[in-house]
Chain A
Amino acid sequence: MVFTTQIFLFAFLPLVTAIYFLLPHRGRNLMLTLASFLFYGWWRPDFVLLMTFSAVVDHQAGARVARLEDDRRRRRWVFLSCVVNLALLGFFKYADFGIESLNAIIQRFGGEPWPLLHVVLPVGISFYTFQSMSYTIDIYRGDAEPQKSFLDFMAYVALFPQLVAGPIVRYREIAEQLRSRRHSFARASTGALLFQMGFAKKVLLADTLAPIADQAFGQAQLATPDAWTGIVAYAFQIYFDFSGYSDMAMGLGLLFGFVFPMNFNSPYKSQSITEFWRRWHVSLSSWLRDYLYIPMGGNRRGPFLTYVFLMLTMLLGGLWHGASWTFVAWGAYQGAWLVIERLIGKRPFYAALPKPLRIACTFVIALGGWVFFRANSLSQATGYLMAMLGRDGGAEGLLEIDRAGLLAFGCGALIIWGMRPAHEQVQTTRPWLSPAVAVFFLVAVCEIWFQAYRPFLYFQF
């Protein structure tokens, strides 16, 4: 189910909220789990079994890791948990990509290609496998206590507000709240506010800018100004789409008493790529740091290996986003910038510039990355970058931007560079905020009947 559909907003949400608050405390986790199953299984009920299987394995592994004393045997259970989760992810997300890549080599040598499996990707599998896997690892490291109740653990894995597109919530961040959590008027109303902000960001900004980016990436040739306009539209689109989803997830969490970690912290205000990765998709970058980069060796094995580990982490982070070489290229691009910044003293080469220019330079570098992220192939990405550099020579003025698009650009820029991030704004008590957001929410509700259906970009990851 998708947050910005009528079925979610006018059927699922009111029903679940009403039942939740009518139930006594002890029934609420069960109720949330069942609601999450309905939410997740709405389009493909059989994938609920897959998620439950992953949860059973990790819950069992976690219990064994906590109970056993022999470190080797504990490691085996952690290993099992990781293998099962990564195998699920590998099969469902990367099997066809692997076969396609292999076929390209086989065919070069005149061999017969292998048939593709046409595996359907379960929505959100990248999120819940990472989330579930971290549970076992945290118990092994002594960072979390095992959850005795499978029901509460299942509620953690399946929790519908953040199930399909994050933020990736670690077990230890939410363990206490699963046992008992705070419900208050202030928290529920703040949740409602945050949900509405996210809803409006997604529907009014991301979905308005999407056709502009689609047009730009749909052209065979592009003039330089159009190429820049298209990629800025995409940068705004992906930010408002994904951060809008995160706001909605956090808002719904608050409504039900949960506090999720913040996922976006004004990333386009970053003054370097290193800072950008501390602000963009924070739950993923910190997950990769804690469960991949640091275990590999982090910066403890000398500068050269630090660069290698950084690069590897970003390559895998890129691949996590999608089974395509364009995502690998995006990871490599980001990794390369991180390495460059480390090489010249953990700062960007434009560190001497005034702050607004440092922010602008970082944004432009991020735009280069988004080209790989959005393109359908590496050759399209290269062509697009050439167009941005004035080497493509398409006719000018091929992008159709209506007044709503222009307004979305303007409002988007204002929100990105002129305002604090949503999770900070809602923690203040500015009197105008709630009524203003309510107006935008109402317009966005009208808009969902008006627009063509546009799912969240991060659903595909």
Chain B
Amino acid sequence: MADGSSPHHDQQVTGWRDPEAGGLRVVSLLSLFGTILVVLYFEIGGGNLPGSKLDRVDFQAFRDGSLAREVENDFAENSVVAETVRPRYNEFAFRLFDRHTDRVVVGRDHWLFEASNAKANYPRPGAEALIERHLAAISGTVSWFAAHGTKVLVLPLPNKWALYPDKLPEARKQPRSIWPEMVRGLKARQVWTLDAAPALKPDGVATFFANDSHWSDQGCLATAGLLAEEIRQRFGTPLPGLAFDGRIVEHEGGTWEGDLQRMLGFVKDSDFYRSFTVPRRLVRVVDDRGRDLEPEGEQTLVLCGTSFSHTLHLGSKLAALLGRQVEDRSLPGKGPTVGLLALAREIIAGDHEAPALIVWEFPEKHVFVRKDSFLDPLEAFLVERENEERYPASSRRELVITGRTAENVTLVDDGEGGLDGTPTTGDPMLLVDLGEALPANEGWAVCYRVKTANPTTSKILFDWGAGFGRDERCIQPVGGRDREQLICIPVVGPEGRETRRFRLDPVDSSRPFEFRDLHLRRR
């Protein structure tokens, strides 16, 4: 088998000396290639080949490496061997070394916490400015509803992390939480806010499940009680809306397998997995025959919330305590703004009457951790409303366009007067030459409609004679979620100047977008 350069030569040049081929040395070859072959045998048998899950191959994805990453992730995530081995290995690693997924923090007495909660905490650079933006977006949204005759009761829920510090490992006890700042800031802005912390403070009763990131039945009920009291105080009697005839019953209700428990990834139903399962004391809303009761249909009291409200039926508990129907628009896994903004758009479209009251629940973590599901859509909504009001459709005028070129983007006519854009490299942009001059600061705005999947920004850079100049006033947020949005960029620039050219970046993102209806409006 030996061929090529002599061992003597290799030793002379690199100092390397081939060892003798001892009997056990074969173990190394066997363990390396044996492992590879065994894994491959099962993966191929299970249909998991690199790239087999791809539905299309596009050149751009190949070029920027996203295709390679997709192939890698698919191959790793769909692994047949891992599916079998991983739960056992997770258990082994936890038992022996205390190791577990870094998405979960294991605290005292098997209490589990969501690791991402820590991100919401101080100290963090720029935290104050970010809180300010959140407060402005929340109060802006509440004001918009108020202008339509709807009161909004904001219910930000404190993190489990902040409520159960004694259950956290010593090293994870963070000095501060953003929760008090949030509540103080909202109240200072005259936003009707309910501090749920008193209801959720553990006082002999576990208000959160030890193995879950959400509250327990008792935490949910206590919050519903606090809410009902607050609403009664504000509205007096009789409360608006239709009557709801349900009663609350509480009884032992088996066990609860929490989301954090599942995230640990142990062998399902093993003794070890079950050691994290907790007993549950069930709180239900029932009719006079003991059947579970849910409020139904469009109502004048509305609950918009997250998985907290949805999973343990905050809506029906609140309805039972108020004796009034509550429309439950809480959505699990979609963030805290989808339901609320959908309701706002229904009100605008006349599909839903403006309710008397909205209870808007969201957990504290969204404030910092999920900007794309909280801050971005709210800011985009407010800007869109402002555009509609500041630049009325009646002021519309067509732009006189003499030339248009696209850079860093492939544009395809969608057949309905719009353009489908697929960014290539860098910022996608349209360079537009005008047949008429646009004066600065005279109330004109360049308007268009844009639609894309993820939240981003859209901007125009006007050429005032010295190239395209960036101006913060000419950037607007885009909410994403594949919803078309009106953007109106004000024509602002040096006093007394005119422009005949601008650069329009429909999205500041490498994701595809739709673009249409470029026109002018005036204040």
Q: Which A residues form the contact surface with B (CB < 8 A)?
A: 5-7, 9-11, 13-14, 17, 25, 42-46, 172-173, 176-177, 179-190, 192-193, 195-196, 211, 215, 220, 257, 259-262, 397-400, 402-404, 407, 423, 426-429, 431-435, 437-438, 441-442, 445-447, 449-450, 452
Contacts and interface: CB of A to CB of B under 8 A. Distances in A.
A189 B14 CA distance: 19
Contacts of B9: 176
B35 interface: yes
Majority DSSP secondary structure for residues of B touching A: helix
A75 B31 CA distance: 51
A7 B14 contact: no
Nearest to B17: A427
B278 interface: no
A435 B13 contact: no
A187 B18 CA distance: 6
Nearest to B82: A449
Nearest to B170: A397
B466 interface: no
Interface stretch (B91-99, B341-349, B363-371): B91-99
B68 A434 contact: no
A25 B170 CA distance: 61
A219 to B, nearest CB: 10
A28 to B, nearest CB: 10
Contacts of B272: none
Contact of A6 (B31, B64, B75, B93): B75
Contact of A441 (B17, B24, B35): B35
A438 B14 contact: no
Given A262-B14, A262-B15, A438 B63 contact: no
A429 B79 contact: no
B102 A452 contact: yes
B86 A449 contact: yes
A400 B106 CA distance: 11
A11 B75 contact: yes
A112 to B, nearest CB: 12
Contact of A7 (B30, B71, B170): B71
A186 B23 CA distance: 10
Contact of A434 (B28, B36, B101): B28
Given A6-B75, A193-B28, A404-B97, A182 B123 contact: no
B16 interface: yes
Given A11-B50, A185-B1, A190-B28, 18 more contacts: A6-B75, A6-B79, A7-B71, A10-B39, A43-B69, A176-B9, A177-B10, A186-B20, A189-B28, A196-B28, A400-B171, A426-B19, A433-B24, A434-B27, A437-B28, A438-B27, A438-B30, A450-B93
A406 B200 CA distance: 37
B422 interface: no
A130 B99 CA distance: 41
B33 to A, nearest CB: 7
A49 to B, nearest CB: 11
Contacts of A397: 170-171
19 contacts: A17-B33, A43-B65, A45-B62, A176-B13, A184-B21, A186-B21, A189-B25, A259-B10, A261-B14, A398-B171, A400-B171, A403-B97, A403-B98, A438-B28, A438-B30, A441-B35, A446-B85, A450-B90, A450-B99
A400 B14 contact: no
B89 interface: yes
B2 interface: yes
A189 B15 CA distance: 18
Contacts of B99: 402-404, 450
B279 interface: no
Given A7-B72, A403-B97, A190 B18 contact: yes
Interface in B103-134: 123
Contacts of B30: 438
Nearest to A8: B72
Contacts of A183: 1-4
Contacts of B242: none
B171 A177 contact: no
Given A10-B43, A404-B97, A431-B22, A441 B1 contact: no
B37 interface: yes
A403 B94 CA distance: 9
Nearest to A399: B171
